[in-house]
């Protein structure tokens, strides 16, 4: 493995530039000036910012249409109709999840993402095709990006006989987490759905990451049920609730009690900071010690035309949603797309300190807040010390 010296970069936006010596894929030294060891590959940092590799804590890389013909969206607004439409699209188009997951993963890598947690549809029509496709992409890109998988019963776990067995197969294939979806509003039976999800997770020693779009008190009830099950099964630290709009919708006193429960059960939150919904109260959650990740959610799929895979754009959207304008507020957005995601994914050795794995992004800008407010396209991306993308192109 090459030794690389990155000269004069501003770690996390600090004013003073530093040299960074990468040995064996890890950050070996950080000093004002380091003499290149013999044979070292030298990269001129040119006082660019160095940020930790971005973490997309909630993605759907199995279903992106990135690089395909433009999909003209005529899909109704209701969740069941959206899901039905997607299944129909797949039947008619012979959608290639293996190819598409690699396309969107490469796009993410170009833009500095080094870790993704992705939810992967499992249902009685596509079976395990998407799981197999993403796992193949994961293995093919193992040296360029870390992909963590959630087997996700997008079409429901209760209504379609055979889904539970498929979920079990998906876990055996290698899913890292067990997914779930709106236990009441979509599945119509919160206890049965959550029991099924948590039992599967407990049986195979996996964690849980559940999509919760339910509004207000209904969603809050699901949060309560998840908190109870996490405690009862001793799954503290292994459960994530994705979206959790309800946490931003209930009254402040109830919100506090829900957050205290999440903190005690060490349940994490993943948010996409949508403009059109209430969002989990980021500062309150963090103050209570709850781990919070940010995610891009679906990128250009049959659900939504938006997104480009850029976690800096997600940080901008977080900033706009949470009305973060001060530089120190925007540092929270950077936290969410880096360290916050690492906390939720339980990554070891993540960060820009000596001993950490050298996953990092170099980009031009005067301040962290600047590159969030207006993300530059040109980035140099290192994964385990190896330059994997530069100036918008993957180098593999």
Residue 340 Cβ, how far from its own copies at the closest point, in Å?
19
CB of 361 to its own copies, least distance (A): 19
**Structure-token pair, residue 283:** 């500062």
Q: By C-beta, is 225 or 315 nearer to its own copies?
A: 315
Outline where DSSP puts E strands in the chain.
4-11, 18-23, 26-31, 41-52, 54-59, 113-121, 146-152, 177-181, 207-212, 239-243, 267-271, 292-294, 360-363, 380-383, 386-390, 393-394
Closest CB to its own copies among 264 and 370? 370
Residue 307 region by backbone torsions, left for phi larger than 0, else alpha for psi between -120 and 50, else beta = left
For the CB of residue 275, give the shortest distance to its own copies in the complex, in Å. 4
Q: What whole-number distance in Å separates Cα of residue 31 and Cα of residue 18?
A: 6
Shortest Å, Cβ 295 to its own copies: 15
Contact at 8 Å (CB) between 133 and 146?
no
What token pair was written down for 150?
Answer: 């959630």
In angstroms, give the least distance from the CB of 322 to its own copies.
Answer: 7
Give the other-Cβ count within 10 Å of 254's Cβ.
15
Q: Which is nearer to its own copies, 289 or 376 (CB)?
A: 376
Is the Cβ of residue 16 or residue 234 nearer to its own copies in the bound state? 16
Between 35 and 73, whose beta carbon lies closer to its own copies?
A: 73
Determine the Cα angle at 109 with ends 171 and 335, to 5°: 85
Nearer to its own copies, 172 or 325 (CB): 325
Q: Least separation, in Å, of the C-beta of 274 and its own copies?
A: 7
Query: For residues 203 and 193, what is the distance between their CA atoms, to the nearest angstrom?
Result: 15
User: Minimal CA–CA distance to 244: which of 226, 232, 231?
Assistant: 226
The distance of closest approach from Cβ of residue 337 to its own copies in the complex, given in angstroms and rounded to an integer, is 16
Three-state SS sequence of 265-333: CCEEEEECCCCCCCCCCHHHHHHCCCCEEECCECCCCCCCCCCCCCHHHHHHHHHHHCCCCCHHHHHHH
Q: Which one, 326 or 355, has the nearer CB to its own copies?
A: 326
- Shortest Cβ distance from residue 78 to its own copies (Å)? 12
DSSP 389: E
Question: What residues line the site for its own copies (CB under 8 A)?
Answer: 69-70, 72-75, 77, 273-276, 300, 303-308, 316-317, 319-323, 325-328, 330, 366-367, 369-370, 372-374, 377
Pick 146 or 303: Cβ nearer its own copies: 303
């Amino acid at each position: 493995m090459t030794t690389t010296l990155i000269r004069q970069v501003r770690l996390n936006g600090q004013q003073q530039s530093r040299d960074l010596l990468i040995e064996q894929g890890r950050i070996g030294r950080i000093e004002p000036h380091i003499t290149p060891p013999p044979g070292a590959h030298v990269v001129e940092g040119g006082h660019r910012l160095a940020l930790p590799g971005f973490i997309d804590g909630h993605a759907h890389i199995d279903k992106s249409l990135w690089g395909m013909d433009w999909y003209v969206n005529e899909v109704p607004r209701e969740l069941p109709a959206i899901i039905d439409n997607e299944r129909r699209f797949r039947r008619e188009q012979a959608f290639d999840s293996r190819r598409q997951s690699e396309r969107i993963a490469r796009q993410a890598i170009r833009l500095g993402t080094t870790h993704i947690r992705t939810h992967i549809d499992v249902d009685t029509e596509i079976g395990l095709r998407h799981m197999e496709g993403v796992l193949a992409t994961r293995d093919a890109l193992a040296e360029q990006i870390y992909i963590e998988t959630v087997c996700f019963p997008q079409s429901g776990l209760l209504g379609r006989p055979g889904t539970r067995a498929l979920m079990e197969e998906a876990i055996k294939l290698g899913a890292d987490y067990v997914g779930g979806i709106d236990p009441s509003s979509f599945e119509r039976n919160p206890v049965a759905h959550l029991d099924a999800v948590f039992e599967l997770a407990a049986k195979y020693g996996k964690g849980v990451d559940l999509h919760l779009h339910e509004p207000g008190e209904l969603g809050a009830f699901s949060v309560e049920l998840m908190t109870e099950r996490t405690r009862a099964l001793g799954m503290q630290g292994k459960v994530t609730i994705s979206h959790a709009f309800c946490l931003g919708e209930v009254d402040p006193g109830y919100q506090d009690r829900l957050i205290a429960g999440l903190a005690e059960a060490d349940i994490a939150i993943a948010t996409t900071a949508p403009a059109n919904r209430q969002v989990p109260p980021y500062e309150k959650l963090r103050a209570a010690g709850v781990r919070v990740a940010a995610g891009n959610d679906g990128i250009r799929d049959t659900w939504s035309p938006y997104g480009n895979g850029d976690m800096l754009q997600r940080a901008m959207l977080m900033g706009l949603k949470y009305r973060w304008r001060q530089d120190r507020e925007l540092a929270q957005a950077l936290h969410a797309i880096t360290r916050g995601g690492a906390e939720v994914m339980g990554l070891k050795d993540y960060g820009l300190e000596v001993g950490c794995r050298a996953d990092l992004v170099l980009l031009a800008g005067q301040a962290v807040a600047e590159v969030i407010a207006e993300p530059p396209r040109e980035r140099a991306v290192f994964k385990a010390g190896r330059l994997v993308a530069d100036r918008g192109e993957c180098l593999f």
